Structure 1
Amino acid sequence: MTTSDTPSDPTGLPPGAPAAPGTAQEPPVESPTSDLRSEPATGEGPVWRDRNFGFLWAGETVAQFGVQLGHIAMPVIAIELLRATELQVGILNAAGVAAFLLVGLPAGAWVDRWLKRATMIRADLVRAAAVLAVPALWFGDLLAMWHLYVVAAVIGVATVFFDVSYQSYVPILVRPEQVTDANSKLETTAQIARVAGPGVGGLLLKVISAPMLMVSDAIGYLVSAACLSRVRDHERPSRREDHGRLREDIAEGLGFVWRHDLIRRIMFCTSIGNLGFVLAFTLAPLLILRELDFDPWVMGAVFSVGAVGGIVGALATPWLGRWMGEGTLIPVSSLAMGAALAALPLAALAPSKTVAFVVLVIGEFTISFTVLAYNIMQVSMRQRVCPPRLLGRMNASIRFVVWGVMPIGALLSGVIATRVGVVPTMWVGVGITLLASAPVLFSPLLGMRRLPDRPAGA
């Protein structure tokens, strides 16, 4: 349940983690945009009637559903079948997100040189192959924890390239005024998948094994690749003579992020928040399956019911932005999600399993709601204000920082929990997450009615 802005979650993350609103034709903002636009960007009508956006939307919806089934299966395999310790659970989660720290920055520079749709298709195929290795090893009676580490790491690397391409592709595929609408629709259906997926996955675990459930995750990635192959756009690869040295390209992306005051503040908020969230949520399966002694299907139900908050949040974000101000919504949602995270350790203090279940569901609902409001607003602003040629490097630079802390947080979670226990470690995570709101709470965002919506100098 990170405050990251990811459209697709690495399988190594705990289940329930969320990670990240058309009009008449207008001339392109600047000449590079016209080179990158897809066909419908010059047409009329709302974004949902755009054939190419429809294929992207459909593929991501199915993929997200499959990912949610995989998110239920992976911790069950590790904890129930392989009897993973707290430290091993921490390592597994770290392996799933370590790629953002290790290859995040060069990935952004490479993505800006490559065709983004082709990159996403290749990433989906790699992820499908990695996921299918888990049931294959299990039925060969070979599966061990180190296999899960490798699978999570491979999926993580492919996810880096997919996510950086994905966030850079949306403003290429649709017109500037449609970006927020497109993100809202993508996040709404992703949240619907997060509602149905964990519950369905938990129920399926009553009749099939967790390794078999991983097959559905692979199917989701394959459907995503098939849908992307049907998209038609006018994106052109950058010219080789426009490429600088890799180090210079990376520095240009980092420089844009650092110089933009609002993006820099949001980056710090998200990074600190992710550290706290990962400290707590890495241990969520252990809390639910061992500390509270719930069955796996109950864990799926908790995250399914709680994810309804994400749907409500995605639908309500445009209205909330108009009501309280687009800028104000960012610090308010950041502070609220930190407070809601306290539901995890509070559930351990509940007098009964019923009360614990209710506390977990309320916490999940609130976290999902606020994470979606935060992500839709800040991601849409970033996509609009960044020059098109820097989109990949801008997104990768931010991911390097905000996801780079996650493997560190996951490892710390396992180490601290081994020494002091699951629940005290979660309280540490809550405290850090509450502190994360400071960079945006004490900033020009508070009280801002309208976020910037044009690249500098446009």
Structure 2
Amino acid sequence: MAGVFGHPGYARFWAADTVSAFGTYVTTVALPIVAIATLRATDAEVGLINGARWAPYLLFGLLAGVMADRYRRRPILVVTDLARAVLLALIASLALTGMLTVPALMLLVAVFGVMSLLYEAAHQSYLPGLVPTAALTRANARMEQSASLAQTTGPFLGGSLVAAVGAPAAMVVDAVSYLLSGLLLATIRRNEPVPHPGRRDLGRELREGLAWVYRHPVLAPYAVTLHARFLFASVASTVFTLFVVRGLDPGLPPDRAAFGLGVVLAVGGVGAVVGTSLSHVAGRWGAGRAIVVERVVEPLGWTLVALAVTGTAGWVMVGVAQFLIWLVLGVSGPNEMGYRQAVTPDRLQGRMNATIRSLNWGMLTVGAPVGGLLAQYIGYRPAIWIGVAGMAVAATAAALSPLRNARHPEPTPPPEPAVVHG
């Protein structure tokens, strides 16, 4: 670990990401409670709010990738972190003063999504400039480990804060975390030259990014099956929050249900910590096999949610399910990111990441509202079963594709020194 942190700028980059991750998991609990308890939103409205968060990824994701390749990435990271701090503080203020409405929350969440989109396109593309290719999987694993550690405590903290001071006030913690993250990133002094000066053709740049992903023999099946996985996982995860807060223990007040949700998500965080700790070992199987294992096991975890009974036993079942789901996601995540970054030239990093990520998260624009509607009209469990079936089909397609044989590229050895004959 000391070797990875020895690369200039990486330690602050990691610290900023870790601080932000802790706050984000507070909002993961607090934001749905703002909608459900403060605004009395219906299941369908909760799905629309979740969809608004991810709509910018579908609408502007490819443009964000072009920006991350055209401009310096660190300034983008700093500005978007500070902007997100302001937006969360505004949501909390409006909720505390009784001025927040469902349409206003959707609008603010959508603007927040634009800032997150720009941040993530630059974030994933900035890391390869801080560490060498051979260290990318390990560097991603360190960041995944800290994010997973945040996941084990952030939801618990979020649930506790919601129970103690209310959901709007709890969101202020996340606003502060974005502020600190932006200030940390601003102190990185590693030189970052302006990429690719000269004339630029937006259309050509967009086509080039799309072609790199969807014509690549491994990235293409990886991306397409991942998009499908995100679509059906977003259905399941949207319904999951509603199920835990409203259906798992119907007599529980919303604030106590929020605390329970935080505990369950924290258990998932423990699974993610274990998974990321094993990701480097799993990478020896080959990146493709690690990814395929995750795709196959994840719907099994969601099956356990769909089968959960009510009451205490049900809480145990959904906790075990979250542990299993995040365990395999933790194993796969660093291998996925390391492979993507290692096989992609630097000039295409922003567009590659934004192409894949924008359509991944764009699927939530569709899946989250669909999940809310399914929950409202056919019930929580049938809606989760639909998500399970879709993820299982995507997993089968991934397992039968060239993705299963993908391996991280071997580092290129340095050239032999020239022999000078005297």
Per the normalisation by structure 1, the TM-score is 0.86
Which of 2, 9, 26 pairs up with 1:69?
26
Task: Check whether the contact 2:8–2:190 (CA below 8 A) recurs between aligned residues.
Answer: no
1:256 aligns with: 212
Do residues 95 (structure 1) and 56 (structure 2) align?
no
Instruction: Provide the secondary structure at the position in 2 that maps to 1:103.
Output: helix
- Match for residue 229 of structure 2? 273
1:385 and 1:454 in contact (8 A); partners too: no
Matched residue type, 1:321: G
**Identity across aligned pairs (percent)?**
33
Correspondence 1:372 to 2:324: no
1:339 aligns with 2:300: yes
Alpha-carbon separation, structure 1, partners of 2:143 and 2:293:
23
Q: Please tell me whether the aligned partners of residues 213 and 352 of structure 2 are also in contact (alpha carbons under 8 angstroms).
A: yes
Residues 353, 317 of structure 1: CA spacing in aligned structure 2 closer, same or farther, 3 A cutoff? same
Aligned equivalent of 1:290, options 243, 246, 257: 246
2:277 aligns with one of 315, 324, 336: 315
In the TM superposition, 1:11-410 aligns within 5 A as: 46-241=3-198, 243-293=199-249, 294=252, 295-322=257-284, 324-347=285-308, 350=309, 352-410=310-368
The answer to whether the 8 Å contact 1:384/1:454 transfers is: no
Q: Distance in 2 between matches of 1:51 and 1:381?
A: 22
Q: State the secondary structure of the residue aligned to 1:190.
A: helix
* Corresponding residue number in structure 1 for 2:419: none
Range moving further from structure 2, 410-419 or 302-311: 410-419
The unaligned stretches of length 5 or more in structure 2 are 413-422
Give, as a single letter, the amino acid of the residue that structure 2 aligns with 1:155: F
Contact 1:385–1:453 at 8 Å: present in 2 too?
A: no
Query: Structure 1, residues 22-44: CA drift from partner, whole Å, max 9, x if none?
Result: 8xxxxxxxxxxxxxxxxxxxxxx
Q: C-alpha root-mean-square deviation of aligned residues, in Å?
A: 1.6
Deviation (angstroms), 1:454: 6.8
For 1:152 and 1:135, the matched residues in 2 are separated by: 12
Choose the corresponding residue for 2:408, options 451, 454, 457: 451
Cα deviation for residue 453 of structure 1 reads 5.0
Deviations 1:372-403 (A, max 9, x none): 22221121111011010010011111123222
* Length-normalised TM-score, structure 2: 0.93
2:35–2:41 Cα contact (<8 Å) kept: yes
Separation of aligned partners in 2, 1:110 and 1:321? 31
Deviation digits for residues 190-213 of structure 1 (CA, Å, limit 9, x no counterpart): 010010011111112232111000
- Count of residue correspondences: 406
Q: Does structure 1 conserve the Cα–Cα contact (< 8 Å) formed by 2:338 and 2:408?
A: no
Matches of 1:114 and 1:189 in 2, distance apart? Answer: 28
Runs of 5+ consecutive residues of structure 1 not aligned to the other structure? 1-21, 23-44
Q: Give 1:262's aligned amino acid.
A: V
